[in-house]
Structure 1
Amino acid sequence: MPYLTAPVLAAGTLARAPQPVLLTGDGLVLRPWRAGDAPAVHAAFQDPVLHQWHIRSCDSEEEAASWIEEWRTAWEGEDNAQWAVADADTDELLGRVALREIALGDGVAEVAYWTVPGARGRGVAARATTTVTRWAFEEVGLMRLELLHSTANPASCRVAAKTGFALEGTKRNGFLHRDGWHDMHLHARLRTD
């Protein structure tokens, strides 16, 4: 049965080129993950705050290395794009920003991020989100980006607001966290915003 509309973006839109390095212009670099990032990822996931908002734990540097390999190869699959967020001068890992659940045909993806404890309160998540959002709209041509976070996570809500993601509603019992079901705020930005 034929579709009545054409895909927003064709398959191959991302994979036809290497994953780019993106600069925020204010001291951060969003770069593809490297095998050498495993110790820093493992250390980041020892943080109780990450345990509060994420469903995965990382028990070893070897496990972190396997995640990084998944993140690196996901680019070719075009359904997930992950960047390390690092200090542009020192290359110190400050966090991660991602486009997940990419649906090229629909022109939609979900933005996700985390930061290491020492990077919090410095605007790292907002700066990385702004940069990946601009790239997704202007360079790739996506039409809509969504951002989900627990309603119990006001820091993530502030990031969404700072980066122009309008609150569209609340998904009741939208995600199972370690401490039970959380209502989730759904924020979104359109290319036309």
Structure 2
Amino acid sequence: MPQLVLPVIAPGSLSHTPQPVLTSERSLLLRPWRREDAPMILDAFKDPGTRHWHARTVDSIGEAEELIEGYAQGWRSESSATWAVVTAADEVLGRVALRGIDRAAGEAEVAYWMRAAARGRGAATAGVRTLSAWAFGVGLHRLYLNHSTMNEASCRVAEKAGFALEGTRRSAHLHADGWHDMHLHALISPSP
């Protein structure tokens, strides 16, 4: 059947070029993950705070390397885009990502985490702002994110990055400690 509305982002328009390195606030960079970053992912997931808010764990260098390969595959398939947030000295602070990229609808889910040693430095907010600007620049129209209503730090990042609270999804996500209500935040492209 013919479509009345064309896809917001044409197939191949992301993956036809290498994933870019993005300059962020606070002298931070967003760059593609590299195999040698695996110890930083392992470190992040050893932290009880990180483990608490995620439905997965990473328990070995091999698992971290598999995750990094999954990040690269997400770019190639245009289903996700994941960056390491790093300092000018290339210290890995954390991750920002677009998950579930829907090129037809022009939307994606934003996700992020920071290593314990990097929290409280504004890196998550800076990374999300930079990621959002890039996403809108390539044509996405709507970005959204979900976090447990009990995860106050994630809520602060969403608010500081300009994501408006749209509502609460009741009992929407199963964590290791049970079902959590989830806040839904969204940011709309400033361009029509």
Structures share fold, TM-score greater than 0.5: yes
Question: Whole-Å Cα distance in 2 between the matches of residues 51 and 33 of structure 1?
Answer: 20
Partner of 2:184: 186
SS in 2 for 1:73: helix
Question: Whole-Å Cα distance in 1 between the matches of residues 154 and 164 of structure 2?
Answer: 13
SS in 1 for 2:46: coil
| 8 Å contact from structure 2 (residues 169, 181) kept in 1 | yes
Superposed CA RMSD in Å reads 1.0
Quote the offset at 1:192 in angstroms: 2.4
**Percent of residue pairs bearing the same amino acid type:** 55
Question: Whole-Å Cα distance in 1 between the matches of residues 132 and 141 of structure 2?
Answer: 11
SS in 2 for 1:130: helix
Quote the offset at 1:70 in angstroms: 1.0
Instruction: Show structure 1 runs of 4+ deviating over 6 A.
Output: none
Partner of 1:134: 133
Alignment of 1:45-84 (within 5 A): 45-84=45-84
Gaps of 5+ in 1: none
Show CA shifts across 1:50-74 (max 9, x none): 1110011111111111111111221
Q: Does 1:23 align with 2:59?
A: no
Partner of 2:95: 96
Partner of 2:153: 155
Quote the offset at 1:27 in angstroms: 1.4
Q: Does 1:143 align with 2:172?
A: no
Show CA shifts across 1:75-123 (max 9, x none): 01001111011112x2111000000010011100011000001111111
SS in 2 for 1:109: strand
Gaps of 5+ in 2: none
Show CA shifts across 1:141-174 (max 9, x none): 1000001100000111111110110000011111
Amino acid at match of 1:100: R
How many residues align? The count is 191
Amino acid at match of 2:178: G
